[in-house]
Amino acid sequence: MKSSKPPVTQVGTPDTSGIAAQVFEQVVEQADLAVSITDPKANILYVNPAFTRITGYGTEQALGKNESMLSHKVTPPAVYQSLWGKLAAREPWSGRLVNRRADGGKYLAELVISPVLDGQGQVIHYLGLHRDVTELHRLESEVRNQKALIESVVDAAPVAMALLDGEDSVVLDNHEYKKMMGDLAMAEPATIILDAVRADLGHGLGLPAPGTHAFLNREVRIDPPNNRPARWFSCSGIWVRRDDGDADSFFERQNSIYLLLVAMEITELRAQQEKSRMAALQAMLAEEGRITALRETLAAAAFQLEGPVNVMNTVLATMERRGNGLAAGEALGEALRAAQTAVDTLRSAIPSQSEELPTAVNLNEALHDVLSLATGRMLASGIRVGWRPQAVLPTINGYPNRLRAMFKALVDNAIEAMNVKGWRERDLYVTSRSADGNIEIVIEDTGPGIPAGARLKVFEPFYTTKKNGGHLGTGLSSALQVAQDHGGGIEVDPIDGGGCRVRIVLPLKTS
């Protein structure tokens, strides 16, 4: 008896390995990357359509041929030696070769060749993947050429260039900048220049806008160490943008802002100007010196006359109280009036101080002027000078000629102190520095020094420490007045082992 149930149809599981093989074959056939499979001797067993598009060899032309048919003599033998060395060690090789198409045309191929091993680790095939990178190479070469051209132009430029990041660190520079570093004996002159520019501007460099100037043609004076002459540079700063190359910035453009510092040395130009300026300054200071000497002489005469006049005033007042010696009193009164008139005449004849407008003053420059003008005297006296300025000193708002006169009085005083017969130690040290909102100038000499009881009196008019009296002037008194007029002061300290230290402190900003 037959069963009424229908027959059961056995449905087998899908052949997944067969599907995977079909998918793999389709992927390889449709890939845009040239794929070739060879035997261990590099004879071609399989190529995909992309191989034909790139090389020009069809499947029939390629099968059975050796891969060497693509090689071109331009490729150095060492490249092939490296290739076969890697493959012999059962390691993949990647690199670039110059290949030849079927029509004889050349192209640059970027290849990856991997050995295919059997279960025993023996090479049974080679899998080759390659693509035409001729155009990519052309673009890379163009970028390299542009970079080399720009670097050549920048390095050949007669100006120092440095690219600084947001932390004022130099990330790129040219040969002229490196030369500047060596000449100035400074690690990073760019940061010193920027500090000087900021101090000169009185504020920061503003908001960075690519392609605009942060500052333009600002003149900066740098005083190198070890008594080397000052150097002058005309400096400009330009904001530049650099596009970031990380993955985050691929779709959303991100960039960093840098500052390109350009510094052109103008020391020779300034030296020529300096000759004319120093000649004019010497004439001006000489005239100021004559006027000061006249003021001091007349002031000293009036000062000395006022003593007897005051005595006469006292005597006359006493006689008038007692009511005796009327005739003598009248005569004395007449003489007193005449003497007072003479004193008033002397005082009215004292020249007034020359008018001067306040301006930005570089105290390094003012000090250097004074030392330059005193060079002849110091050489004649055998005095050695140690000039130790801060490389770049912020300017102060003040009266330049009065400040020079102050420094001149102090330097002259130091020279006179050491210019003593038989005195052997003759060194003058001048130091400048800025700190805590002040400029500090220190003038030290190795002379006999000032007695403790005289350190305050030296700033009194007509006081002198010279044993023979000498010239009674108002030099140090006037120097103190100049410092006080600029909101600062002067201190006199002894030096261990002898000598004198004069310390001038001037605020950067005066009310």
Any idea which of 135-144, 351-360, 453-462 has the lowest mean pLDDT?
Answer: 453-462
Cβ(187)–Cβ(181) below 8 Å: yes
Q: Quick check: 28 pLDDT over 50?
A: yes
Q: Quick check: 135 pLDDT over 60?
A: yes
Give the pLDDT confidence of 41-59 residue by residue, as tens digits. Answer: 999 999 999 999 999 999 9
| Domain locations in the chain as residue ranges | 23-137, 157-245+253-265, 268-354, 356-511
**Amino acid 283: pLDDT:** 75
Percentages (nearest 5) of helix, strand, coil residues in the chain: 45, 25, 30
| H-run or E-run covering 388 | strand 384-388
3-state secondary structure of 34: strand
Any idea which of 81-95, 206-220, 376-390 has the lowest mean pLDDT?
Answer: 206-220
**Amino acid 233: pLDDT:** 92
Cβ(465)–Cβ(420) below 8 Å: no
Q: Quick check: 14 pLDDT over 70?
A: no
Give the pLDDT mean for 118-138. Answer: 92
- Identify which of 233, 199, 231 has the alpha carbon closest to the alpha carbon of residue 219: 233
Q: Quick check: 397 pLDDT over 80?
A: yes
Q: Quick check: 2 pLDDT over 80?
A: no
| Residue appearing with tokens 């794929």 | 35
Query: Which CATH code is given to the segment(s) 23-137?
Result: 3.30.450.20
**Amino acid 200: pLDDT:** 78
Give the pLDDT confidence of 182-228 residue by residue, as tens digits. Answer: 888 888 889 888 888 887 777 778 778 888 888 999 888 888 877 77
- Identify which of 241, 260, 262 has the alpha carbon closest to the alpha carbon of residue 157: 262
Cβ(376)–Cβ(409) below 8 Å: no
**Amino acid 472: pLDDT:** 33
Give the pLDDT mean for 164-184. Answer: 89
Give the pLDDT mean for 67-75. Answer: 89
Q: Quick check: 166 pLDDT over 80?
A: yes
Q: Rounded distance, CA 438 to CA 509, Å?
A: 8
Q: Which of 103-117, 369-383, 471-485 has the highest mean pLDDT?
A: 103-117
Confidence of residue 295 (pLDDT cuts 50, 70, 90): low
Give the pLDDT mean for 413-424. Answer: 84
Confidence of residue 24 (pLDDT cuts 50, 70, 90): confident
Cβ(237)–Cβ(132) below 8 Å: no
Q: Rounded distance, CA 170 to CA 307, Å?
A: 68
Q: Quick check: 105 pLDDT over 50?
A: yes
Give yes or no on whether 23-137 and 157-245+253-265 have one common fold.
Answer: yes
Q: Quick check: 477 pLDDT over 90?
A: no
Q: Please list the residues that pair with 360 across neighbouring strands.
A: 397
**Amino acid 332: pLDDT:** 65
**Amino acid 303: pLDDT:** 66
Q: Rounded distance, CA 492 to CA 320, Å?
A: 48
**Amino acid 431: pLDDT:** 93
Confidence of residue 11 (pLDDT cuts 50, 70, 90): very low
Output the CA–CA distances (angstroms, integers) from residue 170 to 161, 167, 318, 402, in the order listed: 10, 9, 82, 40
Q: Rounded distance, CA 241 to CA 260, Å?
A: 10
> Alpha-carbon dihedral of residues 153, 155, 161, 165, nearest 10 degrees?
90
Residue type (1 letter), 107: Y
Q: Does domain 356-511 have CATH number 3.30.565.10?
A: yes
Confidence of residue 151 (pLDDT cuts 50, 70, 90): confident
Instruction: State pTM to two decimals.
Output: 0.54
Q: Does domain 157-245+253-265 have CATH number 3.40.1350?
A: no
Give the pLDDT confidence of 301-350 residue by residue, as tens digits. Answer: 766 666 676 766 776 677 666 665 556 566 666 776 777 777 777 667 66
Q: Which residue has the higher pLDDT, 277 or 90?
A: 90
**Amino acid 471: pLDDT:** 35
Q: Quick check: 245 pLDDT over 70?
A: no
Q: Rounded distance, CA 270 to CA 241, Å?
A: 34
Count helices and strands in the chain by DSSP H and E runs: 13, 17
